[in-house]
Structure 1
Amino acid sequence: MGRCISMGLLFGLLVGGAQAQCFDLLGGGPGGRRWYVIETPHFRLVYPASLDTLATQVAAVAEASHAALAAWFGRALQGKPRLYLSDADDIANGLAVPLGDGYSCIWLYGNEPEAWTGTTPWLKRVVPHELAHLFHYQAVRSQPAWLNLLLGRPLPRFWTEGLAQYTTESWDAQRGERWLRIAVLDDALSYEDGRSRWNGRLLYAVGHAQTRWLAWQQGDTTLRRILAHRVRRLGVPVHDFYAAFRAVTGTSYHTFYERWRRHVNVLYNTMAGQMETPDSLRGDTLAVPVAYVDDLAPSPDTTRWAVLGLPSMTRPVRTLYVGRPGRWRTVAEGDIRPPVAWSPDGRWVAFARRARGPTGGLVYDLWLASADGRVQRRLTRGRRAFSPTFAPDGRRLAFITVSKGYARLEMLDLQTGTLQLLWTSRAPVHIGMVRWSPDGQALVFDRFVEGVRRDLVLWRVEEDSLIVLTSGRYDDRAPVWSPDGQRLAFTSLRDGVPNVFVVDRATRRVARVTRLVAGARVLAWLPPAPGFPEGRLVVAVTLSKYGESVRLIDARRRAIERKVVVPEPYQAWRRQVARPRRMLDSLPTSPILMSAPKPYRPWANLTHVASLAVPYYLKPFGGGIGGFTLWLEPLGYHTIAAGGMLSLTRLRYSWGWISYLTRRFWGMVGGTLFRWISPSVRYDHATLIEAQTGGVLGIVRNLPAPPYGRRRLSAYLRYWDRRPVWPRHPERLQGPLPPPETGRQLDVVFKVRLWHRRPYRYHAVHPLDGAGVRFRILGSVPVLGATLRFVRLDVAAYRIWPVIGSHRLLTYGRVQAQRGHSLPQDYLGLARSDALHLLLPDVEPEIFAPSLRERVRGYRRLAAGRLVLFGSVEYRLPLHWDLQTELLGLLRLGTTALAVFADGAVVRGGMDTDRLGVGVEMKSDLHLGPFVLTHALGWAYPLSPDEPGARRELYYRIRATVPF
């Protein structure tokens, strides 16, 4: 592990700090952009030059939001929190970070009107919500912050999100009602069971509903008193939500939860008794290969279907299928945004998929996939385009694009590649979906005019005129044409859940089709057929929290309009409005006092993440004080970490390091200076410990890759001095290796790593698929005082093959070769014991395990040479025994799998050996806080019993189930 210490310090420790950085987490980092900052009375806004106008608007919204929230929280924000703004990614989101005075990162894209309801503009939604988080963070903060997190539970996520929603938003379909209603009717309120696609939405809904219900019962003052409450732990005043809840309300949170649960059960079951159930539809069920349906489109001849959705939460791969029940073919997968569209000849399916754009951001572009799944063709690049729809002639493709935050309609000529702007609006307008009429004379789309209305609009192509089809009072969306083009079916959220309606194009008369308590969405309108003179509607029906079904219902069906009657005490809480919410309804748009833009200074915005110092004692090296500190700049320009151990008894055994990392559009660059100790080689009776002094400079670049794949290039230059320090007489170490030596190395390393792995719930224990290749070359040259000269080549590959059902076969092979001479302890060959091997996001696996040594299970003696061939085959089958064992609330044992394996290796050019071992291994996932590790208990039998170190063995190891 010693040879990886510098890169481990650089990319291992810093990765935790990187998670608190803003936009480069999703690709739109600072590289190639000039950033500026403006100051208002309470904030500093940081933005790229292209967003100067939007930054002014955000500043006005932020100051008005601050006034409303400060009045409710009873305090202004301390300091001047930073608001980082970006439009680099097609993402409507925001996050708040409780570091320092707090800062927030806000994506200004906002063109996902289907994600929320109401007429409040995106900026007036996201900015107040994120500021509410900052107020919450400061209200419960105790110093030092890390001790508060250690001794208390100040920020349970459901309460954090619920409080932000209550103080800044209204209770509506997409921000509470829809998701809570389904979960209550299922009696499945847990958002942590991992079984529902909507668990994230449910977490917000549960927190929002509980906060609102408590405020309705006991008033807003109760919420504020909970925030102000402190308890003493180890003599330190800290905020603990659960202790504060009991002290302020006079009851435990658990008791409160049960009362609230009974209340919402009465509410939603009363509603369910007055509305329709899925059984009332009486339509045929279409067997689709997904549990959650994003979109479904019949082919022009109605013999096939294009289905987009998630097969299951166990296998959450968003997939586009084409075929018919029982005969489905995957034609595309990845981050695909509905809807999809067939070409009139039935040969192609058009869709939008999010990927890296030319400037590094995650943006939507248009693609064509052949119906047989053999060909994919990218139509746009960095266009921010979605919702494709074919004209009846099949030559033209209309779609939605986003420019300066607002939507417009464009058209692509598929033969000439010519782009044409069809329609745009001077008003701030967003569009969710567009569809071409059967006669090719008009386009219909759902329109969201910020602050005004949501409606369905018909745009006549030749006349360039707009015809409004619905009143704009409700959230009407996702229109689909009737086969004759005279009517449109659409989905409306006026019931708090989606339901299906039909509007007549000529009379504008709206008729209700469904009145389901859990909701339904219309996806397509089939042509007339025997028994269905007006055709059938294809409807996605919400069955439960755990899935949907697709029904084909008669287009003539109509549901009765009837008011749902619920006793007032059970529904009044949903209308409870916090004072900030009332004030935010009239946010001013007039200019505010702000400074002139100044260039952003990254060093001045370095933010402290965490620091810790503790006493230590290590028998060989004495005792002293050890610790670390971590600082970051939120845009990723700078991340700094330092640490060490100051020995108070043996000063010469003091160690330390300092690392620096910067992110740019073209990659990550960093360096480390270190004087450190690290275990190197396990000899027969002791482990060699080296003192390593030197520095490293590295670069990592992620390249464009297919969905669920990664391509990474990395290179680094390392200069280090290596000296054995333990045992005190290392020349006496016994084993097949020569005694360790002192030496200096100047290493140049280049590595390419390609891999593809689809998400799977039990991937840590039993991955269903995966393939990868890794190429690594290291050269050590004798310059600048270095004494070693050698070259190493390391090539590895693996693949997981399907066998029967969920049984899998893993094949893994590796070739290593060396020319020249390295230090004896830095040998090329086989290890005598298993190294710790983890797979963590964005961290090189070799940080946690020597990259040069494998082990044949069943052999406990190292072997060194100049050529090493290693291979492993495992037959894996899932057991899915969930041990459900939890220790101290941090350590949990999860699912299990069984593997039968065979390892083999050949070593030449030194301690020549041929080894072959077989055995069985029981694997299980080990949840340690937020990290998931894979550990295993195995039994191995050597098939070459005469080899040194060969023995039957029972072993335990922590190792990822895939090699890299």
Structure 2
Amino acid sequence: MNTCAMVRRLGVCLLLGLLAGTARAQCFELLGGGPGGRAWRQLESAHFRIVYPASLDSVALRVAAIAEASHTALAAWFGFALQGKPRLYLSNADDIANGLAVPLGEGYSCIWIYGHDVDAWTGTTPWLERVVPHELAHLFHYQAVRTRPAWLNLLLGRPLPRFWTEGLAQYTTETWDAQRGERWLRTAVLDDALSYEDGRSRWNGRLMYAVGHAQTRWLAWQQGDSTLRRILTHRSRRLGLLPVHDFYTAFRDVTGTSYRSFYERWRRHVNVLYNTMAGQMETPDSLRGDTLAVPVAYVDDLALSPDTTHWAVLGLPSMERPGRTLYVGRPGHWRAVVEGDIRPPVAWSPDGRWLAFARRERGPKGGVVYDLWLASADGRTHQQLTRGARAFAPTFAPDGRRLAFVSVADGAAHLQVLDLEAGAVRWTKAFPASVRIGTVRWRPDGRALVFDRFVEGRRRDLVLWYPETDSLVVLTDGRHDDRGPVWSPEGRHLAFTSLRDGVPNVFVLDTASGKVARVTRLVTGARVLDWLPPSPGFPEGRLAVVVTLSKYGEAVRLVDARRRAVERPVEVPEPYRAWMAYVAPSRRMLDTLAVRSVPVSSPEPYRSWANLTHVASLALPYYLGPLGAGVGGFTLWLEPLGYHAIAAGGMLSATQPRYSFASVSYLSRRGWGTVGGAVYRLPGAAVPYDNGTLVEVQTGGELVLGRAFSAPPYGRQWGSLRLRYRDRRPLWPRHPERLRGLLPPPASGRQLDVTLKLRLERRRPYRYNTVHPLDGEGVRFRLLGAVPVLGADLQFARLDVAAYRLWPVMGRHRLLTYGRVQLQRGRSLPQDYLGLSRTDAVHLLLPGIEPEVFAPAFHERVRGYRRLAAGRTVLFGSVEYRVPLLSDLQTRILGLVRLGATALAAFADGAIVREGMNTERLGAGIELKNALHLGPLVLTHALGWAHPLRPDEPGARRELYYRIRAAVPF
């Protein structure tokens, strides 16, 4: 490859990395709740700017009050007030309880205010009073370790290891509890599997938080909060001059020991703690009962059909196949009924024909929200019951004519009962905004519903609702986090899960007497999901209990409902458990600070251009041989809601002006899609000729409109329209007429073209999709037309249609079929030939980046042939029989490059070219594919041997080749 093309590709890779970071820094956009169609407003308090949709005026005032109270507590702990006025962006567009903080500019945070995912945390602290302080702690952390320029600190140091960043935020704003540390850390310690980077556990993300939280709390308990603050203020010199913050260096210098030594001491401490607890509690092996063999490694829900012949099981099949799936069947005979982002519970209809569930998808207003669905038990029929209703927790009445569920409107929960025959809501129970509801179940007599309730700031309990009289009966005292109620067959008892042990365990409530009995006392926890009817030997029935075996999976045990566990305290020496109760001064201050209204400015329209935020900039001198010497650089800016993203870059050669390049691009995301444009003078993709490679310089601009369409689950549908005007001239080699061959030499020209693209694809998540996807299908349509107006001198039309599909063969063997048809009419530049290439182009699949950034869009190659072919009609097809070999080679090169999963393929390629260099080619061979990990970037590269089956065709020869090409063609 010539130097010019190589430099261009390196530059593209750099910009792609920056753009990927930019996308992650845009609030809400990737999840659908972007700015389109929404009137955003802004108000200011003493230390913050609150940005929110106009419908959230009251929420914005509450967030301002919480933020100011949190700032008082955190500023006292960190020892400084936040510089500037960081922005807090609020959204209610998505059914997501989350937040993120971004260390750009003064720092800003994006907060999803939806707080109805009550199973995600425990305690009585309201959602906003949990998420706002946590995200502000991140902003304080960012400013405490910040050095300028920030990108140089990231290059020369490790200022923000994620486990410590999240741990510090949790320590300074939260307490240690089951969902924010205990249950995940305890299980991992007892497994002797503390790594959260092994890719083998669904709970690794939670474990990463738990490890950081436990370590920061343990260090503060041992050495005081001042040690944590001194770590943040520590700076090291790099390159002899530049002060940067490096966490690991700071930790060693401040504490007097390396982080690795600290980690080992902490690990030994928690091992003693949790093994002492395990010796006094039940282990999974002690829980007697039949094991139900289920088709998932992690169970979200399960329910026995009314006729007791089939089970419905919702869960994650494995970490290799991490798509949540609902199965129906019995051990040894399971069928997948539906897939996607399904929220438990799942409910059977009384006749056993239907399953009701909630699935999260893109709603009519663009947000990702829960809606109710019905699926037939055989999986053949799916029916959507609600659209944009933000509904979940469906449960059928015993008569089968009514369906109760929870819906959320204007931030408040409503219990609703839908008359399925009339298609109308029969009863509605509205709750105050401070009430959240989890699971709902009809009582077997059909007269009442039970649900678990979270009243912010007060209690978590189980409650009965009688729809006929609209009356509520509180069943539990609210002191513990009791959730997931399940009725006994006779309707007198309730089994439920409680987090009072730091892990979930099972209890039974007698609703007549109010007495609560303990069923399990497992050290790693258990959850109850169903109560089976009485059977021989089990007069009160059995409980379907999900037991945590390890961080790598769960099991289902059918336990006698009469089982009782001894209630006794766990005794651990105080020095080993004292750190759990150690509370940061900032957390104590947050508990004492009342959230009162604060002075704020009058709301005003949000000005997107005024909030354009600098991401990164760099300018450096360079010397690149034939490209000469000069200065190159880039700058990148974004607006956090996605209204604007601007990137500019280039290289100015002082010695070779013809090798000076520049580009300025703009992207705006709207509710209906995206619009972008660019003006540039850049090298084009390298075009292979038989005796060399051409690189053009293209000067011009373009406008692109794009839109993604909803295609659940695991579907991707995208359409775009691009208008380009370019002056195109050969750049390399300097004398393009030397590229002799069957094609005319490249020429210069001006081109105005319009491209319409549509792409539809579906592929399930799989750990090794990069090399050996197990399923997938897609079709791509592209129509390109050039017209001779505005000085353009080219006129042609080109049609390109491609499709692929992966077919199961046996086990994990797969057959890939790929076909492509290309047609052209009119005159294009010779270098834009339609046909077959003599070389394998670099083919990368990166989100939002077209493959032709790296290679010409209209070239395929029949392996075993090394001469190009051009024509006006091209038919290409490929078949590959793929066999997985190794999941990971466990090989690292220079500590930076890792060789991952490997697959072997036997292939056959064929092509027909007409109306030009008429040729027919057919080749076959074998290819060894491997995943190449370059930091966060994963490529598919391959080593192959090809044999031409038509040896008389031009360029035919046996060959050993190497190529970088994605496992699927688009």
Match in the other structure for 2:721: 715
Instruction: Indicate which of 447, 452, 461 corresponds to 1:446.
Output: 452
Matching of residue 46 in structure 1 with residue 51 in structure 2: yes
CA distance in 1, matches of 2:854, 2:475: 61
1:720-749 alpha-carbon deviations (Å, 9 max, x no partner): 110112222211222221011111111110
Return the alpha-carbon distance in structure 1 between the equivalents of residues 105 and 493 of structure 2: 57
Tell me the equivalent position of 1:155.
160
Residue 437 of structure 2 is aligned with which of 424, 431, 435?
Answer: 431
CA distance in 2 between partners of 1:67 and 1:887 (Å)? 49
Which residue does the alignment assign to 2:40? 35
CA drift at 1:616? 2.5
Structure 2 CA distance, aligned partners of 1:15 and 1:75? 32
Superposed, which structure 2 residues align to 1:275-424 within 5 Å?
Answer: 275-424=281-430
Matched, 1:800 2:806: yes
Is it true that 1:104 corresponds to 2:112 in the alignment? no
Which consecutive unaligned segments of at least 5 residues does structure 1 have?
A: none
Q: How does 1:494-893 map to 2 (within 5 A)?
A: 494-880=500-886, 882-893=888-899
- Post-superposition Cα deviations, 1:176-225, rounded to whole Å, max 9, x if no partner, equal 00000000000000000000000000000000000000011100000000
Contact 1:14–1:639 under 8 Å retained in 2: no
Q: Distance in 1 between matches of 2:13 and 2:254?
A: 46
Q: Quick one: distance in 2 between partners of 1:3 and 1:723? A: 16
2:87 maps to what in 1? 82
Q: Are the aligned partners of 2:685 and 2:853 in contact in 1 as well (CA < 8 Å)?
A: no
1:459 to 451, 465, 468: 465
Deviations 1:369-400 (A, max 9, x none): 00010000000000000000001111111001
- Provide, for residues 845-875 of structure 1, a one-character-per-residue CA deviation record: whole Å limited to 9, x for no partner: 3333322111111111111000111111111
Deviations 1:314-338 (A, max 9, x none): 1101000111111111111000000
Give how far 1:236 is off: 0.8
Matching residue's letter, 2:221: W
Distance 1:835 1:427 in 2: 57
Q: Distance in 1 between matches of 2:433 and 2:778?
A: 49
Q: Aligned ranges for residues 128-147 of structure 1 at < 5 Å? A: 128-147=133-152
Amino acid at match of 1:898: L
Once residues 9 and 248 of structure 1 are traced to their aligned partners in structure 2, the CA distance between those partners, rounded to angstroms, is: 35
**3-state SS, counterpart of residue 54 of structure 1:** helix
Equivalent position SS for 1:445: strand
Post-superposition CA distance 1:746-784 (Å, at most 9, x none): 111001100000000111111110000001110011111
Q: What amino acid does structure 1 have at the position aligned with 2:73?
A: A
- In structure 1, distance between residues paired with 2:10 and 2:56: 42
Structure 1 position 5, deviation (Å):
13
**Maintained 8 Å contact 1:945/1:951:** yes
Aligned to 2:3: none
Secondary structure of the corresponding residue to residue 345 of structure 1: coil
CA distance in 2 between partners of 1:445 and 1:582 (Å): 32
State the match for 1:170 in structure 2.
175
SS of the residue 2:329 aligns to: strand
Please report the TM-score for the alignment, with normalisation by the length of structure 2: 0.98
Q: CA 1:679–1:314 in structure 2 vs 1: closer, same or farther (change >3 Å)?
A: closer
Deviates more, 1:401-410 or 1:614-623: 614-623
Partner of residue 488, structure 1: 494
1 CA distance for matches of 2:9 and 2:824? Answer: 18
Q: Choose between structure 1 and 2 for higher RCO, CA contacts under 8 A separated by at least 6 residues.
A: 1
Q: Is the 8 A contact 2:95 2:114 kept in 1?
A: yes
CA spacing shift, 1:292–1:158, aligned 2, 3 Å? same
Amino acid at match of 2:114: Y
Q: 12-21 vs 153-162, which deviates more?
A: 12-21
Q: Which residue of 1 aligns with 2:65?
A: 60
- Output one character per residue of 1:135-188: Cα deviation in whole Å (capped at 9) or x when no partner: 000100111000000000000000000000000000000000000000000000
1:431 positional shift? 0.6
* CA 1:231–1:378: 2 relative to 1, 3 Å: same
What do the CA deviations read for 1:703-727 (whole angstroms, capped 9, x no partner)?
1112001111111101111011222
Structure 1 counterpart SS, 2:924: strand
Is the 1:5–1:847 Cα contact (8 Å) retained in structure 2? no
TM-score norm. by structure 1 comes to: 0.98
Greater shift, 616-625 or 77-86, is seen at: 616-625
Q: Answer whether contact 1:679 1:687 (CA < 8 A) is retained.
A: no
Q: Rate the CA distance shift 1:763–1:846 in 2: closer, same or farther, 3 A.
A: same
Letter matched to residue 84 of structure 1:
Y
Structure 1 residue 830, shift from structure 2 partner: 0.6
Distance of 2:13 and 2:892 partners within structure 1: 30
Match of 1:938, as an amino acid? G
From the superposition, tell whether residues 804 and 289 of structure 1 become closer, same or farther in structure 2 (CA, over 3 Å).
same
Distance 1:42 1:378, change over 3 A: same
What SS class does the counterpart of residue 707 from structure 1 fall into?
coil
- 3-state SS in 2 of match to 1:93: strand
Deviation per residue, 1:576-629 (Å, 9 max, x gap): 100110111133232111100011000000011111222233444322111111
- What is the DSSP-based 3-state SS (H/G/I as helix, E as strand, rest coil) of the residue aligned with 1:585? helix
Structure 1 residues 512, 669: CA separation in 2 closer, same or farther (over 3 Å shift)?
Answer: same
Total equivalences in the alignment: 964
- What's the CA shift for 1:890? 3.0
CA–CA distance in structure 1, aligned partners of residues 90 and 333 of structure 2: 47
- Using a 3 Å threshold, how does the CA distance of structure 1 residues 936 and 721 change in structure 2: closer, same or farther? same
| Other structure's SS at 1:604 match | helix
Match of 1:473 in 2: 479
- Residue 205 of structure 1 is matched in structure 2 by 210
Output one character per residue of 1:341-362: Cα deviation in whole Å (capped at 9) or x when no partner.
Answer: 0001100000000001110000
Which range moved further: 79-88 or 722-731?
A: 722-731
CA contact (8 A) 1:14 1:640 kept: no
Once the two structures are superposed, residues 857-916 of structure 1 have per-residue CA deviations (whole angstroms, 9 ceiling, x without a partner) of 111111100011111111111111522222444322112111111111111111111111
Q: Deviations over 1:451-496 (max 9, x none)?
A: 0000000112222111111110000000000001001000000000
Give the CA deviation at 1:2. Answer: 13
